[in-house]
Structure 1
Amino acid sequence: MTFAPDITERLARARADLRMGVPVVLEGGAVVLAAETLDAARLADLRSLRGDAVLAVTAWRAQTLKAAAYDGDLARIVLPADATLAWVRAIADPADDLRSPMKGPLKVMREGPAELHRAAIALTKAARLLPAALVLLVDDAAIFASTHNLTLVPANAAMDTELSPLNPIISARLPLEVSEKSRLHIFRPDDGAEEHYAIEIGKPDRTKPVLSRLHSACFTGDLLGSLKCDCGPQLRGALAQMGEEGAGVLLYLNQEGRGIGLANKMRAYSLQDQGFDTVEANHRLGFEDDERDFRIGAEILRRMGFASVRLLTNNPAKVDRMNACGITVTERVPLKVGENAHNHAYLATKAAKSGHLL
């Protein structure tokens, strides 16, 4: 019988559980709760168990908290005996850091392995939550998961960085303002994550470099016309240029906020209102500068039959990543549109700290 979920499906369950505040269990012996969705009842239940729970945060978040990241990329902050739900959330979320900067003194673990804690943070990131997790080591993970009807996943699977296979689902003709000869292709990953799209303008020659753009979804810029970024003008400018040339492929990748999700992107915006730039805001939340996976774009191009591109981008990292993934970039085509008084500082930060060629 093959009704039971495989490891990919169990990981999808684990992500969904964490988003709803349900604990998950890691093989190797740890129960994990996402700090963002934790409630008071489950915090009390966790504290009733034997052992010392820790709040695992990334090194970036630890730096803001002035906590030593003895494990290199993360810190294991010991949960104080009197820790409340408000304390856990204050450690995980930097929203009130400036109003209440003193969170400690914080006791940080430095002994023992941190692989399970690393896997816990990876799961919260994959769930598009704040990268912070309560972790309690347990003796028999399988029995604990079975007793409490919790999803059990291997820690190494949670840390797996292999790209999930992308499957073409459907494509259909979609007349656009820039070109009536357009098609929309839908691609769905096996791991249950977000679908991604390819807008094909005209009938590009598969034997020649295609004019292409990797465009990360931006709800605020693409749909609402936000002036805080240049995404909307870049989307429309890229499509217009493809329409003028009569052929092109725009990959619309659901990696909002450089891969941290819309809720975390709004948290970053709130931090920017406090005076932090876009990179500093990401770091205070516990994220890297850019959490996107450009391998997705390369795989879609490959599935569509393209081996080389003329890439519409100001980001050299995209060029390097495409080349590394086997898609040859024969030309970087600049796309300098959309600067205004509201996003001038944002674009300057992208140029200074992220290497964008503006």
Structure 2
Amino acid sequence: MIKAEYIWIDGTKPTPLLRSKTKIVEAGAELPIWGFDGSSTNQAPGKSSDCVLKPVFSCPDPIRGGAHKLVVCEVLTSDMEPHLSNTRAKCVATESRYSDHGMWFGLEQEYTLFKDGRPLGWPEQGFPAPQGPYYCSVGGDYVYGRELVEEHLTACLAAGLKISGINAEVMPAQWEFQVGPLSASAVSDQMVVARWLLARIAEKYGVHVSYEPKPVKGDWNGAGCHTNFSTIAMRESYDKCVQAAQVLGERHELHISNYGAGIEERLTGNHETCSWREYKYGVSDRGASVRIPWQVARDGYGYIEDRRPAANCDPYVVTQLITETVCSRI
């Protein structure tokens, strides 16, 4: 017998939470549908509280080891229809509709570590030295939480996730990991597992993982989930990369409203952002809504980076919107 940890996204607003529980199943057997009390997760009223968990992605559980598994689930109603909180179903449908475009995504997940109500390593009173020496830094004066971050990276690799890197970020106690390139639903499934693993490992250290877009007010960087993507055509033509950047601007308001609660606190026009009120793109411009990497302009093909999504975004929503906006127009 093995332990299968069923993981799902709940109905908490404005930012859903991850939930999970353990099911004992026979080794090698198909993972069955399961259920939970939706009245305790903001997904159902008490008088009709049953919700269904449908396994959609599984991988080795690096925390329990052995043959144990982590299982990402879609939430269904008892009629076996996608629940209102189930954003994956729409993502998969859009991905299927535009499958001939060959969309790839890479997500850059920023997050901030908190302990005792303040960013990890920050003084009890006042603030650390201003931003500047912390990004990709080395040394005890600049880095807080590396042991936890390294353990998370090792766990993601052991789970078989396509994690492609980590780095310390601009604000002290802020970090980033990257997942991809993968399809829209696959990169989102793996991001759910990576976020779950980060929270689970942080428990051991007594640390809270925050995905708030602006975890500390004032002259400090916010936290985003920069989303890199390409179609087959973009991977062959620079003009298609430019077209993709242009069409994203046509539905800027729709994207902003679905890129994470509190996004306007981060997208101020300062701290490597473009204001949420405007849309612009540019080559090598980290102050733009969408950045075209310099090597893409040089090579004449590649990908572009949507810098607008907040750290607390729903990856299924972000990848679905980008797929629909770009693939329906170029």
Query: TM tier, shorter chain?
Result: under 0.3
What TM-score comes out, normalization by structure 2 length?
0.25
The structure with the largest strand share of the pair is: 2
